């Protein structure tokens, strides 16, 4: 007669042995997955930056399409219309970054300022564009057509901006500040300075532009934000002095344009 209890014990140890390789593989895979996951959180942050940068590209495509629509309807003004549209992305680039400032509500309590600054910029920018277009054109009838057809395209761009607001997280600016504290990257501090400036928090934009200049004094955009912030903080003389010093060292054309605007009173 078989010793069935002993045999069952042996069978159990056999089963354990047979499953052991699988268990080892599963455990090692989970450990590897855990290690990979621990490095993973850094990647989405990088992606969020890229996504922000990619947004203007989408707008450029949209605007290009719109201009094509205009082109089909017009015969004489075709080349002019293209010339007019081409500077638009530059204006839009500034406006498109505005929605991300929603997240600043967590940091500061200047929501009213945000509401005042964001919308006027979006509304006035297209108007200015249209005015420029009008000035450049000679035939009044055709200009009217242009006005009629381009206005709806601007509205569509504004709608696109709204969708961008929804996509971004509120903690983005905090994350960028946190990342800047970690790695002292001047690109990040400049980004923060720009954001604060766009929000109307000129004191903070001045601070971050100053920090950027200290880290890397060769960033033109940083000096411009710095000077603009000074003007907004009613330190026009200091802004002019700073810009002059920077122009002397770098011969920056953008800085010269800004200096002219400040001195002529166009930029207040």
Partner 1 sequence: MNSIFMNSKNIFLDTVNSKDYVQLDRLSSIYQSLNNSIKKPFKMILLYGKPGTGKSMFLTKLYHDLCESSNIHLYQTPILDENEFYKTLAQDIFDTKYNDTLNFTQFMKIVKNQEIQEIPVVILDEAQLYSEPLMEKIRLLSDTRSIKFVISLHKTEQEDLIAKEHFQTRIWETIELENASKAELKIYIQKKLMKANCFDTANMFSTNTVKRIYKFTHGNYRDTNKLLYTLFDIYTTYEQHSHIYPLNTTKIPNKFVEMAAIHTGLIHA
Which spans of this chain sit near partner 1 (rule: CB under 8 A)?
Answer: 1-2, 4, 7-8, 10-11, 13-15, 17
- Residue whose CB is less far from partner 1, 2 or 162: 2
- Residue whose CB is less far from partner 1, 15 or 234: 15
**Of 253, 252, 251, 230, which Cα lies nearest the Cα of 240?**
230
Q: Using an 8 Å Cβ cutoff, are 102 and 170 in contact?
A: yes
DSSP three-state, residue 97: coil
Structure tokens at 15: 């089963």
- Residue whose CB is less far from partner 1, 5 or 135: 5
- The burial of 29, by beta-carbon neighbours within 10 Å (0-12 exposed, 13-18 middle, 19 or more buried), is given as exposed
- Residue whose CB is less far from partner 1, 16 or 69: 16
Q: Using an 8 Å Cβ cutoff, are 81 and 72 in contact?
A: no
Q: How far is the CB of 11 from partner 1 (least distance, A)?
A: 5
- Residue whose CB is less far from partner 1, 15 or 128: 15
Q: How far is the CB of 12 from partner 1 (least distance, A)?
A: 8
- Residue whose CB is less far from partner 1, 13 or 106: 13
- The burial of 11, by beta-carbon neighbours within 10 Å (0-12 exposed, 13-18 middle, 19 or more buried), is given as exposed
Report angle CA 235, 239, 240 to the nearest 5 degrees.
Answer: 120
Residue whose tokens read 């500034």: 94
List Cα–Cα distances, 158 to 58, 100, 122, 161, in angstroms: 13, 14, 7, 5
Q: How far is the CB of 6 from partner 1 (least distance, A)?
A: 10
Name 126's Cβ contacts closer than 8 Å, sequence gap at least 6: 151, 154, 157
Alpha-carbon distance of 239 to 147, in angstroms, equals 38
- Residue whose CB is less far from partner 1, 7 or 24: 7
Q: How far is the CB of 3 from partner 1 (least distance, A)?
A: 9
Q: How far is the CB of 17 from partner 1 (least distance, A)?
A: 7
Q: How far is the CB of 52 from partner 1 (least distance, A)?
A: 59
Q: How far is the CB of 26 from partner 1 (least distance, A)?
A: 22
């Amino acid at each position: 007669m078989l010793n069935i209890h002993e045999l069952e014990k042996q069978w159990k140890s056999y089963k354990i042995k047979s499953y052991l390789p699988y268990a080892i593989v599963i455990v090692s895979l989970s450990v590897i997955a855990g290690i990979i996951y621990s490095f993973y959180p850094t990647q989405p942050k990088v992606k969020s930056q890229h996504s922000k940068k990619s947004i203007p590209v989408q707008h450029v495509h949209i605007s290009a399409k719109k201009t094509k629509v205009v082109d089909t309807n017009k015969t004489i003004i075709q080349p002019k219309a293209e010339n007019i549209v081409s500077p638009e992305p530059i204006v839009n680039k500034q406006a498109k970054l505005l929605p991300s400032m929603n997240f600043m509500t967590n940091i500061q309590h200047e929501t009213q300022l945000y509401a005042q600054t964001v919308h006027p910029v979006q509304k006035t920018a297209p108007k200015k564009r249209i005015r420029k277009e009008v000035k450049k054109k000679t035939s009044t009838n055709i200009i009217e057509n242009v006005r009629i057809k381009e206005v709806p395209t601007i509205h569509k761009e504004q709608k696109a901006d709204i969708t961008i607001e929804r996509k971004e997280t509120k903690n983005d600016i905090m994350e960028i500040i946190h990342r800047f504290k970690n790695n002292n990257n001047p690109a990040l501090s400049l980004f923060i300075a720009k954001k604060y400036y766009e929000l109307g928090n000129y004191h903070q934009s001045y601070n971050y532009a100053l920090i950027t200049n200290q880290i890397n004094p060769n960033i033109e955009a940083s000096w411009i934000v710095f000077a603009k912030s000074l003007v907004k903080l009613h330190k026009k003389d200091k802004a002019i002095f700073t810009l002059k010093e920077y122009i002397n060292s770098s011969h920056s054309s953008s800085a010269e344009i800004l200096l002219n605007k400040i001195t002529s009173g166009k930029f207040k």
